[in-house]
Amino acid sequence: MQLEGKTCVVTGAAGGIGRETVLEFCARGARVVAADLRPDGLEEVVALAVEKGGTAIASQMDVTVAAQVKNTIDLCEQTWGRVDVVFNNAGIFPGDDGSVLETSEETWAHVMDVNLKGVFLGCRYAVAAMLRCGGGSIINTASFVALMGAATSQSAYTASKGGVLSLTREIAVEYARKGIRANALCPGPVNTPLLAELLRDPEARQRRLVHIPVGRLAEAGEIARAVVFLASDDSSYVTGTEFTVDGGITAAYVTPES
């Protein structure tokens, strides 16, 4: 079991990648604080993890509020004595995030607040806790769009994920000799309820799929298993990377439609 005995915090735990990561972490022996703003989905994933024999507790929090983020990291440390892994995964992708001509200042500010400030706060309190226990692994959810332009307009989201990637590199370099690793997870499009809603238009869906060499969206569990690797000691020499799990998108120049 790759994560036996490790203590972990997962934000955005109520759905999609976060939910599957909580379950994967618990199945591999970790003790998990599952954190999310949404109480119903949060309680559901914790109950499911416990039902399957895992150890998980819930922390309802808003990633944009420093005191709430600190309380969640403190909960992990106070409950189990240390913080080994923090997966800063919470994020938003509003439907009105479009081109620079279309995206309102309000939408821009909201996306930056959640997607970038939220990761910054998660890193701030994760680093402090990990320094107290001699190291750990931070995984921040960026995106393949942090590495290349998106096929559809999403200026605030893309900019926020570029910021997450740069912040992650900075932390990796600064704290490497303190035993702290930091990596940016860069998924391709994932088959989650959020993306399903955004891609309910068949034309919009096809515009996405044509750029994916494997011809399909990722499943959340596939991304969660990549997070497990980055959280585990199997990746002990991996830090400062953009860990890309995108079905070949960033490797492709021209992708056949068949």
Mean pLDDT on 16-32: 97
Give percent of the chain with pLDDT exceeding 90.
79
- Band of the pLDDT at 1, cuts 50, 70, 90? low
Catalytic (active site) residue 237: no
* Contact assessment for residue 120 and residue 65, using Cβ atoms and an 8 Å cutoff: no
Instruction: Give 26-49 pLDDT, tens digit per residue.
Output: 999 999 999 999 999 999 999 999
Q: Which of 12, 41, 46, 40 is nearest to 26 (CA)?
A: 46
C-alpha to C-alpha distances, 178 to 1, 94, 172, nearest whole angstrom: 25, 37, 10
pLDDT given for residue 202 in this prediction: 73
Mean pLDDT on 143-159: 89
Which residue in the list 157, 175, 237, 253 is annotated as catalytic?
A: 157
pTM of the model: 0.94
Of 154 and 50, the one with more pLDDT = 50
pLDDT given for residue 209 in this prediction: 76
pLDDT given for residue 258 in this prediction: 44
Superfamily covering domain 7-251? NAD(P)-binding Rossmann-like Domain (3.40.50.720)
- The domain ranges of the chain are 7-251
Mean pLDDT on 150-172: 93
pLDDT given for residue 95 in this prediction: 86
Q: Most confidently modeled of 98-102, 240-244, 247-251?
A: 240-244
pLDDT given for residue 200 in this prediction: 67
Instruction: Give 80-121 pLDDT, tens digit per residue.
Output: 999 999 999 999 999 898 899 999 999 999 999 999 999 999
Instruction: Give 174-231 pLDDT, tens digit per residue.
Output: 999 999 999 999 999 898 776 666 666 776 666 677 778 888 889 999 999 999 999 9
pLDDT given for residue 215 in this prediction: 85
pLDDT given for residue 149 in this prediction: 83
Of 22 and 251, the one with more pLDDT = 22
pLDDT at 256 over 60: no
